[in-house]
Structure 1
């Protein structure tokens, strides 16, 4: 499924530029992707589309952070001193490495609370037993892609770069 998501990310500049599911499925099939992977990815993308509906992004004047607000009477903003506590199922599915990366993105101002919840929800919607860090990075990219939010260049590098072969200077 993640190979399909990477293909979609690389070939459609934003979520609203992506064709509807039927047409996208045919294009993915023509590219040679496995039908089961296509079905899983399309189902996952439909869930992402539903999760990101009604998101409003407000960039702060400093340009380094953003506030995500959700429309509707049940959407409450996160209090400044609040802390996200992950359920046992989330801890087991995401693992320490992924949870640490989410925390890093949050503290960097890259992943506001509203987007974090979408990332966690979409990560929990994957079928793997334990999510790998590279898979989480794809999910973060896809959430940004779906909302039309362009990540900072350094963050984009962190999300896309192969850190195994990175040379420290």
Structure 2
């Protein structure tokens, strides 16, 4: 599924250029992706679209979800188990860096909970964060993009 999401991100980097899901399914199939991978990715993308549409401003709620600077997000046991320590730490890092506001964090967590893996691999979470930025039309700055695209396997901790 994540290979399909990366393909969509790389080929439709402007979210509005993405064809309808049934047309996208045909294009992905033509590029050689397996039907199960395509189905899983399209279901996941549909969930992302629903979450993004629900977070859009309305007359009743003119701003996206905002949190007090003193608020604390407590993850449920199910979220802790499914995301694992590495993903939770990465989410906290993005938040503390000021690049993942609370309303996007909630969508990242929602989409990560819909992703396979137990726990979700950190590389998969990075793709999820990229897809959430992509869906909202946010272009991460170079340092954030480097962190999201960096391969940590060859990294030596000091």
Which residue among 97, 101, 118 is the counterpart of 1:108?
97
Moved more, 97-106 or 155-164: 155-164
Is contact 2:83-2:112 (8 Å) kept? yes
2:51 alignment partner in structure 1: 51
SS of the residue corresponding to residue 7 of structure 2 reads helix
Q: How does 1:137-152 map to 2 (within 5 A)?
A: 137-152=126-141
Measured after TM superposition, the shift of residue 54 of structure 1 is 5.8
Is contact 1:102-1:116 (8 Å) kept? yes
2:28 alignment partner in structure 1: 28
Q: Deviations over 1:8-67 (max 9, x none)?
A: 0010012211111011000000111110110010010011011112656xxxxxxxxxxx
Q: How does 1:60-71 map to 2 (within 5 A)?
A: 70-71=57-58
Tell me how large the CA RMSD over aligned residues is.
Answer: 1.9
- Can you give the 5+ residue segments of structure 1 that lack an aligned partner in the other structure? 57-69
Cα 1:152–1:20, aligned 2, differ >3 Å: closer, same or farther?
A: same
1:40 alignment partner in structure 2: 40
Measured after TM superposition, the shift of residue 166 of structure 1 is 4.2
Measured after TM superposition, the shift of residue 163 of structure 1 is 2.0
Is contact 1:12-1:18 (8 Å) kept? yes
In 2, distance between residues paired with 1:100 and 1:119?
A: 13
Which residue among 107, 110, 113 is the counterpart of 1:121?
110
1:8 pairs with 2:12: no
Cα 1:15–1:89, aligned 2, differ >3 Å: closer, same or farther?
A: same
In 1, distance between residues paired with 2:5 and 2:120?
A: 15
When normalised by structure 2's length, the TM-score is 0.91
Cα 1:123–1:72, aligned 2, differ >3 Å: closer, same or farther?
A: farther
Cα 1:71–1:79, aligned 2, differ >3 Å: closer, same or farther?
A: farther
Is contact 1:54-1:71 (8 Å) kept? no
The number of residue pairs the alignment matches comes to: 156
Which residue among 68, 71, 77 is the counterpart of 1:79?
68
In 1, distance between residues paired with 2:121 and 2:131?
A: 15
2:86 alignment partner in structure 1: 97
